[in-house]
Amino acid sequence: MKIKIYFLILVFSSFLAFQAEAAKKIDIKARTGILVDFHSGKVLYEKDADYEIYPASMTKIMTAIVIFDLLKKEEISLDEKFVISEKAWRMSQSGYSSMFIMLNDEVTVENLLRGVIVVSGNDACVALAEGISGSEEEFSLLMNEKAIEIGMTNTNFSNSSGIPDPENYSTVRDISLMSHYLIKNYPNYYKYFAETEFTWDRTGGEPITQGNRNPLLYKKVGADGIKTGYLSVEKYSLASSIFKNNRRLIAVASGFETKNSRSKQSTKLLLWGLMNFDTVEIYKKNQILSSLDVWLGKKNKVDVYIKEELYITIPKRKKKNISAYIEYTGPIEAPIKKDQKLGTLYLYYQDELIETHNVYSSEEVKKVNLFSRVLKAFNFLVWGDV
């Protein structure tokens, strides 16, 4: 049985078609890149998105995620202090990006996080990794476990900072998934990525103030993260995100020839996404979607919902109707449990299937007593009335 659902939403064409068309309208001067709508998850642009790269300091996004997970579980706290080892201290002396921590100093998790996120400190990465797992090698196991959980299928982390290592690799598609996970699951901690400077009031020396290396934060276009990268073999890279008019886009690209190109091309890609597409929420999480027929229940209908928010990304100024159906075997015989899967929601553009979602009961429906069941059965046989 099918029930047609009407959404007050309009779209231009199928997502496969508009992605192909959109890709023809813009290109960026990078080796590989991707642009994704945060809410709908739709890829608006991609260029060799599965090409293997060395993620450089974009690796630090995963380092932060592992720390945020531990903070959420209350296994560590922001004011907990880690002792700085010689290995971590030497990262401050070797010409890498650093927050300039001191040997044997005790530094809070929060300061180390800001050292990682804002000033891209490799020394802070090592200090966090050692404070959590005892060694950077052990910490990288946590990073890889998390990558698998997120769905990063072409990634391996061998260190916490992204310093050169052939075993530390990823793709822009995987990095976009990682960035999405961070922003969605840790919006409060994600605010660190928007800080334009960090002052480290170090022990035994004058305070050091450094600016955020993400150039898009200074452009006033709505960018609020997330992480730059550079390796001589990979050139310049950037994972970036923009939030404007309740829309969020995530762009990741690598292989820019210069810092200036990285800044201009990333801005170009993000603004192109904002100007050419809209993202519309057509279903709020856990709201009532429709009502389905019930057989032999104390109620004749059961309200149903889907567990996910539902967004559609549409090209601007070119709109047509989409259709939606709930398919289920019905009428559904009682008893029905709350949150029981009852059917499937299908979203179409014309004859093309766009998405499917499971449909669940929003309530419990008990079976009627024996007398009522006999009466309903009689009515059905005589009148066809269920």
By annotation, the residues acting in catalysis are: 57, 60, 120
For residue 179, which of 241, 254, 103 has the smallest C-alpha distance?
241
Residue with tokens 């068309």: 21
Distance CA 42, CA 139 (A): 32
- List the structure tokens of 192: 């660190």
Distance CA 177, CA 362 (A): 31
Sign of CA dihedral 155, 156, 159, 160: positive
For residue 361, which of 291, 267, 282 has the smallest C-alpha distance?
291
Query: For the CA atoms of the chain, what is the radius of gyration?
Result: 26
Distance CA 368, CA 141 (A): 55
Strand ranges for 111-234 from DSSP E: 197-200, 208-211, 223-231
Beta strands at 290-295 and 332-333: parallel, antiparallel or unpaired: parallel
How many Å from the N-terminal Cα to the C-terminal Cα in the chain?
A: 15
Distance CA 9, CA 65 (A): 35
Helix (H) or strand (E) holding 158: none
How many CB atoms are located within 10 Å of the residue 62 CB?
Answer: 27
Distance CA 127, CA 82 (A): 7
User: Phi and psi for 109 in degrees, rounded to 5?
Assistant: -60, -40
Q: What are the angstrom distances between the C-alpha of 317 and each of 40, 187, 189, 209, 314?
A: 19, 32, 36, 47, 9
Distance CA 276, CA 252 (A): 18
- Rounded to the nearest angstrom, the gap between the alpha carbon of residue 6 and the centroid of all alpha carbons in its chain is 29
Amino acid at 25: K
Beta strands at 32-37 and 247-256: parallel, antiparallel or unpaired: antiparallel
- List the structure tokens of 12: 């231009």
